[in-house]
Structure 1
Amino acid sequence: MMLIDRLKLKAADQLFFLGDLIDRGPQSAQVVDWVMRSGHICLCGNHEQMCLEAFTAIDAPLAWQGWLTNGGSKTLESYGGELIPDAHLDWISQLPLYADLGDVWLVHAGVNPNLPIDKQGEMEFCWIREPFHRITEPYFNEKVIVTGHTITFVFPGVQPGQLVQGIGWLDIDTGAYHPKSGWLTALELNSSTVYQVNSYTQAVRSMPLEQITVLVKPTAGRRASSRK
């Protein structure tokens, strides 16, 4: 809540979460409950997808184990070790995959540069990495794609807490759960101001977007690859 408090939201302000509310901390249940009641918008991330698959997939044991080993066990602990309430699962199942704000397009992971939007779905919007980060021209002519999913410090030359800008996209996932970073980031679109709180040190800071953003070349691969 430290970061939310820093934003000093007004009644007319709209807050967008880019997904992965769960699996990355000891209070997933509380986070989901707060966002549900807040009226703000959350997009679906790959961790929400894994959670839903664990509870609904035909091959449930395999999906269940995959979710538990990718943070699902922490989420269950936050619910007291019990199953997630139906009200929460129903809410998660209805999360939108993206939000079109006109000149900004929000999505958890990115897009497949080789497919039109209407041919893409959960696998692209919630999971994609390299094909998206290697695009050599903007996917949209007049929109910037803002994403999470890939922690920014895995890009060469990027330090923990910095944001990453590619061609037509901006990654603001600074790895709040990761001990190498701890920075949780919010971007105020109207003023291009970045607000950050460190989940380990409780340090807070804010600065103009350009001051904390690193430009990366489309041919620059990430230092590491993992299914997060």
Structure 2
Amino acid sequence: MHTQSILPEPHRHRSSIMYIAGLNLPRSPFQWPEVLVVLSTADYFRGGRIRPESMPSTFLGRFITPIHGLAIFIPPLVYVGALTLNRFQQPEWMARFAFSTEMIDATQRSALRVVACAASFALRSFSDGTFRHLGDQWHAIGRREKSRVVKTGPFAWVRHPGYSSVLLQEGIVVYHVLVIHTHRSTWYHSSCVRNQDADRGMCLCFISGLHADRSL
């Protein structure tokens, strides 16, 4: 491991980069939450042993399953790949979807991301427990023989805990998008009103100045 500075000496402690296992790891405190997000995202998508008997047997099931899998894996793969190749900084096109600085500052945003990472690890533990209780009853959606209803663990409280956790995550995402859209629309409207008021004030000052010149 060695370090390399990319800025002059006064800023070296803020911008130096650590090279570990071929990755450029930042030392900036505002970039480390991105490292945690990448690690928590990669940890969530862990694989296991493939059981051929649990795979779909119909043509439609075999056709839809890969599409469904790609739809699940492509977004996190794009996120992890983009940040890893960009020194764990969000590209400009990705940063547009973040909370605006008018809503929360950089410190609050970093704290929120750390909390989200902790929640992600907790959710991963919940998912592992769900699959342990599900056991050999995990199967692609469809009709099958000798199935039984699992009533232990989280299944004692929720009929479909896996789907429920996914719906909860999607609800958080939708809420996030709606809050950002509503806030930006409100901020844009208020900015326009402020600009209009400023323009009116400038016009009044200009007219008052002309009137004063004529009275001299």
Taking structure 2 as the reference length, what is the TM-score of the superposition? 0.24
Q: More helix per residue: 1 or 2?
A: 2
Taking structure 1 as the reference length, what is the TM-score of the superposition? 0.23
Bigger CA radius of gyration? 2
Q: More strand per residue: 1 or 2?
A: 1
